């Protein structure tokens, strides 16, 4: 338990794990966001590492139903989402639904197509199909 909350944070993985622990053990998304803010203040992380932090922060804000803050954190990673290969996670739906909930349906649809297009290298992206009934209303 000590390492989960008091161990030294050095890598991006350490920050992600600490943030996840705050959510798992204390249901504290706000404390998790503070940990991720600390990670973003670390200049040694590269662009892909920083993108993973922004993604996680955006997801946490989405869960808090703060869609404006969620969008603010997703904006820096949109080019990464479009160009890079990365593994599927069901939480990626938060990116699409954030824009949808803000009334930006065209942007939500565009992101949906981008992420669904990643089925070419990871068939798990087909799981986003459940969003069809939301974003095409």
Is residue 21 within 8 Å of 4, Cβ to Cβ? Answer: yes
As a whole number, mean pLDDT of residues 95-99 equals 96
What angle do helix axes 12-26 and 29-40 make, rounded to 10 degrees? 170
pLDDT at 2 over 60: no
Quote the DSSP letter at residue 11: S
| Nearest alpha-carbon partner for 74 in 107, 28, 117 | 107
| pLDDT of 133 | 85
Is residue 39 within 8 Å of 23, Cβ to Cβ? Answer: no
Q: Which residue has the higher pLDDT, 3 or 83?
A: 83
pLDDT at 135 over 70: yes
What's the token pair of residue 125? Answer: 């992206």
| pLDDT of 73 | 98
In whole numbers, what is the pLDDT of the chain averaged over residues? 93
Whole-prediction pTM: 0.91
Q: Contacts by 20-28 with C-beta closer than 8 Å and gap 24+? A: 23/60
**41-81, pLDDT tens digit by residue?**
999 999 999 999 999 999 999 999 999 999 999 999 999 98
| pLDDT of 3 | 64
Q: What are phi and psi of 128, to 5 degrees?
A: -70, -10
Quote the CA–CA distance of 34 and 95 in Å, as a whole number: 20
Domains of the chain by range and CATH?
Answer: 2-135 (1.25.40.10)
pLDDT at 6 over 90: no
């Amino acid at each position: 338990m000590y390492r989960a909350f008091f161990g030294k944070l050095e890598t991006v993985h350490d920050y992600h794990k600490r943030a996840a622990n705050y959510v798992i053990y204390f249901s504290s998304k706000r404390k998790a966001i503070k940990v991720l803010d600390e990670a973003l203040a670390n200049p040694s992380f590269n662009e892909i590492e920083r993108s993973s932090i922004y993604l996680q922060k955006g997801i946490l804000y989405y869960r808090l139903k703060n869609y404006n803050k969620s969008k603010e954190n997703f904006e820096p990673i949109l080019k990464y989402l479009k160009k890079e290969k990365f593994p599927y996670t069901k939480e990626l739906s938060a990116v699409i639904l954030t824009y949808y909930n803000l009334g930006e349906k065209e942007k939500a649809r565009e992101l949906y197509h981008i992420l669904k297009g990643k089925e070419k290298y990871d068939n798990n992206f087909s799981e986003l199909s459940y969003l069809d009934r939301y974003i095409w209303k």
